[in-house]
Structure 1
Amino acid sequence: MDRKDLSILLVDDEESMVEWLSILLEQSGYTVKSFSHPEEALKWGEYNAVHVLISDIRMPAMSGLELFARIREIHPDAAGILMTAFSSIDTAVKAVRQGASDYLLKPFKTSQMLAAIEKAVQEKRLTAENRALKQKLSKEYNFQGIIGKSPSIIKLLELVRKVADQPSTVLISGESGTGKELIAKAIHNNSIRKEEPFIGINCGSLSPNLLESELFGHRKGSFTGAYRDKEGLMIAAGRGTLFLDEIGELNKDLQVKLLRAIQERQVRPVGDTATKPFKGRLICATNSNLKEMVELGTFRRDLYYRLNVLPLYVPPLRERREDIPLLIKHYLENGNYPGKAFSPESMDVFKQYRWPGNVRELQNIIERVCVMSSTTTVQIDELPEFLSVSKTNNAVSPENRPFSNDVSKLPMLSEIEKAWTFYVLEKIAGGRKRAASKILGINEATLHRRLERYKKEDQN
C-alpha cells in the first residue's frame, strides 16, 4: 500500500498538536483526516476507511482508548498509535492489550512518530498477507499451524494436498524443529481419514523393547512386567494415521518387523502367534538422511524404499527467511503479546541468523524476548547475544563453493573443516550430534568443542 493510499485518522484535543502532526504526515506523503473532537472523528470513521488511528489518550468527551476500541468495531484491521503526556503503566498495558501498535509519550520526536506509523503499516501488511494466504488455503484444505508465504512452503502445501487421499506411505524429511509433525497432521486432516485417530510416537524416545511393545502390542506374560494384554499403536490407529517420528532411530530388529508389517499389512503382538490386520495409513518422519544411512549400512534398503513412496521435504528456516516476519507475527498474536513488535534492526538480526533449531527455536526466542522485554518495540540490544549475525552464512560449503585452480583463492583448511562439519550436522545427520560425530569419525565431545569454537569465532 502506497503512503498516499493509507488513510490516517488523527485526533487530539490540542489543536496545535493536530496542526503540527497534520503538516508532518502530509509532507511525508500520507493522507490525513484530523479532528479535535473524538465524537466527530468517530462519525467520520463510520463512513470512511481508517487504516491507522493516531489519537491522544486523555480527551474530555471520549478517551483515546475508547475511541480506538470503537474504531476497531467498524474497522477491525485498523492500527492504533496512542499518545499521552501522562505516562502510566496501567494505561500502557491497556493500550497494548487493546491491540495498539505503539504508545508514545509526549513530547516525542518526529522520527518516533514516523517510525511508529511505518511499524503500524508493516504490521497491517503482514496481517493482510497472512489472512489472504490462510483464506486461499482454507477454502478447501486444513493447514492449521503452518505459516508461510515462501515458494518452498506453498509448494510443500500443494504436495500435502496431492498426497492426502493416497493410501501410500509418506516419508517426511527435514531438520529438527522444522514442523514435520504439523505436516503429518495436515496430511491426515485433509484426507478421507480425518475423522479417524491420528496417533504419533517418537521412535527415538523409547528403548527398543518398549518401542516394540508400543508399536505392535504384547500378550500377557510375554516378558517380565507384561501383566495384561496390550494393544499396539498400529492396531489402535484403526483406519486412521500412525505417525512414526525419527524413524531412523529404529534398530535392525524393529526395522525387519516393521517391514514385514507394511508388506503383509498384518501385525503380530509380542508373544502372540496370531496376527491382526493393520488398516491405517503410515506416515514417517526423519531428521536424518536415510539414503546416506542405507549406504552406511545402518538402515535397511528394502524398508527405505517401502517408506519413501511419497517423499516430502520440509525446508529449514534459513531457506525460507521471507517467512520469518509472518511467523513472528503469528507467535505474537497467539502468545498473548498483542501490541508487541520488533524494530527493523531486530528483524534484520532474525533474518540473518542461521536458526539451527528452525521454527521451534524461533518460537522459543520470541517467547523469551517478549517475557524479558519491558518495551513495546523490542530493540536489538534486548536480543540474546548469540543471535548476532553468523559469519558461517558466508562460509565455504561442499555444495556451493567449487575449488578454484587459483591457489590464492583456495579456502583455508579450517574453513573446509567448519563447512564440512555443518554440512554433515545439518544436511546428513539432521541436527543429531551423535549421528554427525559418527559420520565425521570423531566422538561427541570433540564435536561439541568444535561447535563451541565456531560459535566464539562468529561472535568475535
Structure 2
Amino acid sequence: MQNRLLRVLQEREVMRVGGDEVIPVDVRVIAATNRNLEEMIRQGIFRADLYYRLKVLVIRVPPLRERIADLDRLLAYFLSKYGKGQLSVSSAAMEVLRTYSWPGNVRELENMVEYLVHIEAHEVLPQHLPIMEFSNQLAIAKPTTIYLNMDKQVEDVLEEIKKQGYSGDCRAVLLAYAYLCSNNRAGRRQIQEALVGRGVFLSEQQLRHRMNLLAQWGLLTIRGGRSGSSLTQLGEATARHLKSEESCLKEPIKPY
C-alpha cells in the first residue's frame, strides 16, 4: 500500500483495479495519524521517502487532555449529533470529565456520549459516566486537584482574553451573566441591558462577537431560541474569580 500511495504522489497517476489504463490525477492528500512515524521509519516499518512526500505542511492537533477547554464544546456537539442536545450534565460530572486523562482522545469522548444518550436520566451524574469504572483518577475523590486545575485554566483563559485585546468587554459580559441570574443563563438582550447598568455600552453586533469569543474559549454555551446562553463550568469559575477581583476595587471592571 505504501508503494502504491508513493507512486500516486510522485507520478500523479492512478490505475483502476483490473484496468490497464493510466489515469492522470490532480489531488491533494490530507493524512492523519496518532503514531510516531519517525520512530516507525527507524524501525523499518514506514518508508522514509513516503514520509517526506507527505510532510509538506504539518499541523499538530494536541490531544484532548492538553486542550481540556474544548471539552464543553465537543460534548455539546456530540450530544447534538446523537439527538440529545437537551441532555444536562451536572457540575460534578463535568469535574470528573475535566480531570480525566482521555487516553482515547476525542474518539473516547464521542463513544462515551453515544453511551450516555441511552440512559433514562434527564441529567448526567458522575455514576452514569462509564469512565468511572476504570479511571484511576476519580475527580470526586480529589477535590484539591480539581480546584488547582480549574484555577490554572482560569488564569490561562484570562491571559488569552487579554492577548486578544477584549479583556474589559469579555470580563464585563461574564460578570453580567454571573450577577444577572442564579443559574448564569440569560438571553442576549438581558445581558445587553445588564451591561448598560454597569456602564458598558456594546452594540448587538459587538455583544454577539464577544459572546462568540467566550464560547470559543470554553466559557459560554450559546443556545438558539428562547433557552438563552449560559456559563460553562469554566465560565462560572472565571466569573467567581472576577467577582473576587471586583470586590477589591472601588469601581466595577469596565472595558479599556
Q: TM-score, normalised by structure 2?
A: 0.48
Which is bigger in relative contact order (C-alpha 8 A, separation at least 6)?
A: 2
Computing the radius of gyration over CA atoms, which structure comes out larger, 1 or 2? 1
Report which of the two has the higher share of helix.
Answer: 2
Report which of the two has the higher share of strand.
Answer: 1
Q: TM-score, normalised by structure 1?
A: 0.28
